[in-house]
């Protein structure tokens, strides 16, 4: 009996067994991917990668493949915030400043998709740069009395980050509860041994700290996806910051005046901040941060504002893709203009269709992307869509001189959206993102003025622009991999 296996092995070359191993693993992995029930394009792309590159493809899938997680909803905080938001809406109706019907239906879609209803703000300020955002943030921190909550994808221990860390440590010494949550992949330098002293200074002062999806050897699959790409700050439950600006010198024109990223952030005061607070608390709780004290006043009562604001979140803990749906619905609502700014333009098929549909029905559609982003592959993939956009009537502009990082959407005369999500598959489906929708004419006009100012730094991409054959091939290949980017 012992001779039979040896005879079987001896009778076939090693390539025979390698072929059977490849075939069986291909069948198993292909079946597994199909059962994930993702979009057909993404599913087919992953099947091609795994079958054409059997070993390398498996490694790539382990790091970048679709993954799902489950998170607990903090029912107590959600219920309290929802009751307060209803009071805000009642006050808006009493002041005859409630959103029009189309906006109410849009808000209902967002609420159904992510569970965050329409609220209000007393004011919404647009912060046009990292330096301006840092100064506003330091001013708010200086006035904090109860707590300061921060969540960032990138928090660098450079000049900008050190200045902020020291301000947080100073408030912690005064007895203010300071909680800082950073992403493990986005903030590796802050977590490194080299910069441990700066983080320890903050902790020794009493500041609390947590890491979102830390890289650990005991994980079966590394979480390169599923990052918190959010940028949230909440001070005393009344003042909130949200947008695209991280904490680093790359976005701070005070440190790098000639090459700092061009970016946009919001400073919100009023009831809508409670939803930023709720989002932070969910992420903090999930990242196993120390729980707040039961008597801590995290959702303080405050007078309703006159600006309708709705916070929108999405992430791989939900299949609803709330930000993706909200953007597509906003594009479908457009009747006059759609002005979209994004550093990474790798749209889903439905998002691309909604954008070109708006242009085809006569809406003025303008798109700003960077002339050269910090990813050559993403830049190439974005350019592969230009002809299709231009054929539909979309005006495509490339921002010159420095990295363009703003993420804004402006629709007609009332609608504005600003936040952390790019117009790409990764933001729509793979990362945790947050946006703020503001339904107000004055805000829309200020956002439009900023967009016009950005256009002065752009060049219009000419229709029919010719590229060398090798560049066209690179763009086509990059587009083929766009569902995986």
Active site residues: 229, 231, 236, 405, 407, 412
DSSP state for residue 317 in the 8-state scheme: T
d(CA 451, CA 107): 24
Q: Got the DSSP string for 218-281?
A: T-SS--SSS-B---EEEETTTEEEEES--BSGGG-TTT-TTTPPB--EEEEESTTHHHHHHHHH
Supply 387's token pair.
């002809």
Sequence-distant (6+) residues with CB within 8 A of 412 are 333, 334, 335, 336, 337, 444
C-alpha distances in angstroms, 328 versus 204, 340, 346?
46, 12, 14
* Burial class of 290 by CB neighbour count within 10 A (0 to 12, 13 to 18, 19+): exposed
DSSP state of 356: H
Residue 471 belongs to what H/E stretch?
helix 469-480
For the sheet with 364-370, list strands across it: 119-121, 307-314, 433-439, 415-419, 408-411, 337-341, 364-370, 395-399, 458-460
Task: Give the span between the Cα atoms of 432 and 162, in whole angstroms.
Answer: 25
CA-nearest of 153, 124, 214 to 447 is 124
Tokens 């230009």 sit at which residue?
Answer: 386
CA separation for the pair 281, 39 (Å, rounded): 31
Report the run of H or E that residue 409 belongs to, with start and end. strand 408-411
DSSP string, 80-142: HHHHHHHHHHHHHHHTT-PPPHHHHHHHHHHHHHHS---EEESEEEEE-SHHHHHHHHHHHHH
Quickly list H helices, 318-426. 322-333, 349-360, 376-383, 386-392, 425
DSSP state for residue 155 in the 8-state scheme: B
CA 117 to chain centre: 19
């Amino acid at each position: 009996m012992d001779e039979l296996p040896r005879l079987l092995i001896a009778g076939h070359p090693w390539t025979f067994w390698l072929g059977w191993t490849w075939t069986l693993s291909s069948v198993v992995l292909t079946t597994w991917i199909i059962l994930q029930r993702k979009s057909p394009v993404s599913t087919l792309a992953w099947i091609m990668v795994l079958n054409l590159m059997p070993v390398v493809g498996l490694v790539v899938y382990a790091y970048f493949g679709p993954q799902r997680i489950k998170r607990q909803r903090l029912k107590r905080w959600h219920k309290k915030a929802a009751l307060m938001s209803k009071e805000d809406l009642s006050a808006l109706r009493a002041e005859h400043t409630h959103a029009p019907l189309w906006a109410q239906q849009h808000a209902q879609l967002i609420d159904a998709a992510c569970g965050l209803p329409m609220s209000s703000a007393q004011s919404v300020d647009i912060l046009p740069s990292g330096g301006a955002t840092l100064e506003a943030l330091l001013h708010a921190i200086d006035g904090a009395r109860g707590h300061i909550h921060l969540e960032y994808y990138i928090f660098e221990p450079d000049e900008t980050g050190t200045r902020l860390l020291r301000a947080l440590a100073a408030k912690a010494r005064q007895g203010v509860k300071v909680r800082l949550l950073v992403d493990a992949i986005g903030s590796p330098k802050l977590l490194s041994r080299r910069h441990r002293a700066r983080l320890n200074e903050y902790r020794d002062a009493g500041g609390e700290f947590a890491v979102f999806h830390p890289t650990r050897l005991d994980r079966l699959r590394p979480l390169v996806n599923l990052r918190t790409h959010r940028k949230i700050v909440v001070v005393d439950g009344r003042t909130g910051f949200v947008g695209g600006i991280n904490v680093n010198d790359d976005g701070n024109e005070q440190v790098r005046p000639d090459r700092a990223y061009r970016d946009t952030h919001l400073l919100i005061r009023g009831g809508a901040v409670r939803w930023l607070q709720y989002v932070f608390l969910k992420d903090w709780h999930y990242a196993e941060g120390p729980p707040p004290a039961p008597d801590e006043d995290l959702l303080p009562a405050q007078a309703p504002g006159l600006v309708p604001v709705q916070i929108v979140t999405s992430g791989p803990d939900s299949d609803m893709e709330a930000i993706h749906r909200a953007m597509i619905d906003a594009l479908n609502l457009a009747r006059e203009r759609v002005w979209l700014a994004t550093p990474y333009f790798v749209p889903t098929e439905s998002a691309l269709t909604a954008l070109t549909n708006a242009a085809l029905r006569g809406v003025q559609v303008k798109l700003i992307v960077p002339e050269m982003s910090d990813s050559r592959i993403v830049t190439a993939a974005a350019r592969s869509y230009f002809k299709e956009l231009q054929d539909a009537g979309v005006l495509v502009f490339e921002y010159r001189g420095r990295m363009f990082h703003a993420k804004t959407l402006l629709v007609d005369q009332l609608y504005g959206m600003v936040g952390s999500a790019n117009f790409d598959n990764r933001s729509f489906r793979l990362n945790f993102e947050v946006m703020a929708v503001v339904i107000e004419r004055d805000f829309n006009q200020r956002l439009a003025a900023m967009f016009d100012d950005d256009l002065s730094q752009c060049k219009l991409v000419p229709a029919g622009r010719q590229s060398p054959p090798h560049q066209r091939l690179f763009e086509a290949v990059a587009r083929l991999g766009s569902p995986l980017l």
